[in-house]
Structure 1
Amino acid sequence: MTQEELKDIARCGETTTIQFKEQFTGQKEIAKEMIAFANTLGGQIFFGIKDNTGELVGLSYDEIQAISRELGNAANEHVRPTIYITTDVVRADDKHFLVCAVAQGKNKPYKNLNGEIWVKQGADKRRITENSEILALFQDSGSYQADAAGMQETSFNDLDRYALNDYLKKVYALDLEKLSDNAEQMLKNIHVLNHNGIPTLAGYLFFGKHPEYYCPTFMVKAVSFFGNELAGTQYRDTKEIVGNMPQIYEKSMSFLKSNLHNIQEKGASFNSLGKLEIAEEVLEEVLQNALVHRDLLRSAPIRIFIFDNRVEIISPGTLAGGLTEDDIRNGKTYQRNPYMATFATNALHYRGIGSGIVRILAEYPEIEIINDVNGKEFKVIVWRKENQISTQKTDNSTQMSTLKTDNSTQMSTQKTSGSTQVQILNILREYPQTSRKELAKIIGITEDGIKKQLANLKKAGMIERIGADNGGHWEVKTKEK
């Protein structure tokens, strides 16, 4: 560390990873600071700087030597398990300062001889006593796996036998019914059940009939807003998505695709369906990572927010295992929920080797990764291609106008209800978000007439409305043209 770097740190003040001490304040007190750093993100203690002003006071040679000895004793004798520190002396303005560096620990939780556990809270520290916070430290060190915990209120009868059977056939070429007495042991071996025969949290969330009964926050709250502000009160579509993990995944992907635009490539024909403005591979990767790596100890749902200019997918809990945003961008991975990851690898498109994020970042740089330590959540922002959408809307308007002209010409020979329904089906197949008003203009009949034809098509099972009236879309069930 250079003297300019030290002076800059002093000017900026204390933070989650920076602590100032004018003098050594006692082994027990300094041990608490070390414990808080080791249990959080690691950090540095600067001796010779006033903590309330950042004034550079400095230390003498004898003070530096004495503090160095005290630091070693504090780390060895007042912290359990033992932590390892490094020290350095920095010279600035003809004064000397001692810097003690404490790395983020790999054997959390760290505590003092009284069993007190300390963590950083901004620039301060606080003692934790809640079981959930203590478990989170064990989880972060890899010595506790929340997804392996048994769901005490549940039994094998709460699992979906059909989903389990499909999984066993696909992955192990086994039939659940034919396993007979060996079925329970097989499910224990693959961690669907724990050693007591109770569904694990991973097994229940992935194969449960109704996981929302006992895990009400294991869900996705999805909202498609008008505009670009979270505080907006108007929205196109909103859903609370529940079910087991494969069901939540499929429903969430459906919500994303129904609330995003399809963009036709330049030169493509009118009948071309176009491509989703954000590649499905990108949405799949981000969504699956949110489902698999969410912090199961935090009682909060995954959230999907669709704005006019971006999509946000937010999962509870920050990055585990000491990973940073840069680690994620470079392909490093840590499985907070290894059994969930195994089920997802076998049943979804998930791979869990870290390459997915690297690939989508390379192919789609309009992505932001935010590890919100204070908010205890992980957010991925995918920016929408507004210019392409704007161009697509213009192109669609031109094509819709052409279609209207063509249909007007056809009206003289196509006056029957059947021909009108064919026109409606053709339009909705290519432009599923077309409104009744637009259909009326294109085909040349009243809105009430369109409403009646849509009702007849729905009754016949030929179309289905997906999502809200304002912001949803039509799905054509028939392939006739």
Structure 2
Amino acid sequence: MAERAPREGAMRHLRIKETEARSLLNRSEDHYVDFKSKDIKPASLEKLVSAFGNSSGGEIIVGANEVKPGKFEWDGFSRIEDANAHIHVLIGPYPESDTFQYDTLAADGFPGYLIRVTIAKTREICTTASGATYVRGAASVKQVVTAAELDNLKMQKGISSYEDATTKAPLPMVTDSLQITEFVIDALTFSEPEPWLRSQLMIVADRPTVAAVVLFADEPQVVLPKASIMVYRYASRDQVGRREDLVDGKTWTVEGSAIKQIQQAVAKTTELIESVKGSNLNDVAYPPVTLHEIITNAVIHRDYSIADNIHVRIFDDRVEVESPGRLPGHVTPRNLPGARFSRNEIIERMLHKFADAPNKNVGEGLLAAFEAMKAMRLAAPQVVETDVGVLVYIKHEPLDSPATIVLDHLATHETITNREARGLTNIASETTMRRTLAKLLDQGVIEQVPGTLKGGYKYRLKKSAADSSNTV
């Protein structure tokens, strides 16, 4: 654990252990971590902070040299004061707060002091002192120059939403559709469609908005050609789906209003998974709530300004759901599933009004999806942000077996009880856990602790088992 020294000004001074220093240097540069030499110009560092804030946040370590690709060595500032020029440039546009934090790091046996700048993803546009704005690309920092680029960044961050834009759709497309008729009856709005849509600002200047078309047009794709869901089934476990692995060479396009797309895409995905059981997906099963919530989330929160479909890819060992548009607001893959921010507030709010609302528990959908995977003892969904969108992996990857979890616990603890084991493995049934423990007893891996019958059995590793490399 790092030792925190008294705070001075905008910077905190930390002394870390040698092992922590080596662990820091062994980190890989990626979308969240960047190493820079102490010779970096303060102005260049300022641009980098802007880019991190406008992307997904992260850490910048200043004072580490790349001696060979991916290998860094500590070469810090000789004195803390030597880092002042860099810090003073940063604290003007980026004052210390929960969003921007500054530390100096020192460690025995390592020369000088490093600067660590920690940046959270900002809700607003993060600019330099001169008013310039930057974003991170694949391996670079790019300035946002044109009005179109700035508008795109605002869309990405959720500051503005394309759902408010007006379309060229004729009014009857949303005022006289089967979908709006069903909604008015089921949601009991007690109003004619057109005045109600106007009151909800989904008709502006006599034009339906994107939200109105997505929600209430029977065929939104006439106006928004890429506002569909593509479903693929690949008989493969490869990282990338290939055309030759498509089952029957088919893909499915799911169109219609938002609620119809969610219902039909979930049904088609479930059907395709079920149809291949007994062949190359023998025991594969996914919680229905996970598929439903993640597809619903994609439809609600996608960026409708991006001309691309949502893609649902079913492989032998996973399902992938990819939606256009990076995570909005302060949301990053690191703070999901708990973070909450809506890019399309109107679409989300209106879907919640449907009689069979796909988002009944607003704000809890992803939490439910993660919990459902955990209940089935499957690995949690993995959320990855790409340059232009969000990709969710739903892997059929079992968690460690209950027996392995018990033995891992006993490797660092003297005993374990049935209750403790159930808590660690998320197994509710006492009987089920008793069978797991009985199997380990029969194998001679664990033993009952003498004298613990009255208060409930405790179990411990057998000495011979602790010294062996047997696995269960």
TM over 0.5: yes
Q: How far off is 1:240 after superposition?
A: 1.6
Residue in structure 2 matching 1:254, options 255, 261, 267 = 267
Are 2:215 and 1:192 aligned?
no
Q: Which amino acid in 2 is paired with 1:18?
A: V
Q: How many Å separate the matches in 1 of 2:228 and 2:146?
A: 24
Aligned residues: 362
Q: How far off is 1:119 after superposition?
A: 1.6
When structure 1 is superposed on structure 2, of 40-49 and 338-347 the one drifting more is 40-49
Are 2:378 and 1:363 aligned?
no
Change (3 A) 1:101 1:343: same
Q: Corresponding residue for 2:394?
A: 381
Q: Corresponding residue for 1:336?
A: 343
Instruction: Indicate the SS of the match to 1:50.
Output: strand
Instruction: Indicate the SS of the match to 1:143.
Output: coil
Change (3 A) 1:160 1:250: farther
Q: Corresponding residue for 2:30?
A: 15
Cα deviation 1:14-73 (Å, max 9, x = unaligned): 433333343354442221122112212223333332256533223222xx2142254223
8 A Cα contact 1:319 1:371, kept in partner: no
Instruction: Indicate the SS of the match to 1:116.
Output: coil
Q: How many Å separate the matches in 1 of 2:186 and 2:234?
A: 39
Q: How many Å separate the matches in 2 of 1:193 and 1:319?
A: 27
8 A Cα contact 1:318 1:372, kept in partner: no
Q: How many Å separate the matches in 2 of 1:282 and 1:19?
A: 34
Q: Corresponding residue for 2:142?
A: 126
Q: How far off is 1:380 after superposition?
A: 3.5
Note the 1:42-191 alignment, pairs <5 A: 42-51=57-66, 53=68, 54-61=72-79, 64-76=80-92, 84-129=100-145, 133-151=149-167, 153-159=168-174, 161=176, 162-176=178-192, 183-184=194-195, 186-191=196-201
Note the 1:394-413 alignment, pairs <5 A: none
Instruction: Indicate the SS of the match to 1:126.
Output: strand
Q: How many Å separate the matches in 1 of 2:36 and 2:344?
A: 39
8 A Cα contact 1:18 1:43, kept in partner: yes
Q: How far off is 1:220 after superposition?
A: 1.0
Q: How far off is 1:76 after superposition?
A: 0.8
8 A Cα contact 1:220 1:252, kept in partner: yes
Cα deviation 1:86-130 (Å, max 9, x = unaligned): 232322424222323142242432223554321223453222346
Q: Corresponding residue for 2:314?
A: 306
Q: How far off is 1:147 after superposition?
A: 1.7
Q: Which amino acid in 2 is paired with 1:231?
A: R
Q: Which amino acid in 1 is paired with 2:58?
A: G
Change (3 A) 1:6 1:136: farther
Change (3 A) 1:248 1:103: same
Cα deviation 1:403-429 (Å, max 9, x = unaligned): xxxxxxxxxxxxxxxxxxxxxxxxxxx
Cα deviation 1:137-190 (Å, max 9, x = unaligned): 324544212222222x2242331523223223332441416xxxxx43x31332
RMSD across aligned C-alpha pairs, in angstroms?
Answer: 3.4
Q: Corresponding residue for 2:300?
A: 292
Q: How many Å separate the matches in 1 of 2:397 and 2:261?
A: 23
Change (3 A) 1:317 1:142: closer
Q: Which amino acid in 1 is paired with 2:87?
A: L
Compare the two structures and name the one with the higher helix fraction: 1
Identity of aligned residues (%): 16
Q: How far off is 1:293 after superposition?
A: 1.8
Change (3 A) 1:346 1:319: same
8 A Cα contact 1:75 1:85, kept in partner: no
8 A Cα contact 1:369 1:381, kept in partner: yes
Q: How many Å separate the matches in 2 of 1:287 and 1:362?
A: 18
8 A Cα contact 1:18 1:123, kept in partner: no
Question: Which structure: larger Rg?
Answer: 1
Change (3 A) 1:115 1:59: closer
Change (3 A) 1:29 1:283: closer
8 A Cα contact 2:156 2:325, kept in partner: no
Q: Corresponding residue for 1:231?
A: 242
Residue in structure 2 matching 1:282, options 281, 290, 299 = 290
TM-score, scaled to structure 1: 0.65
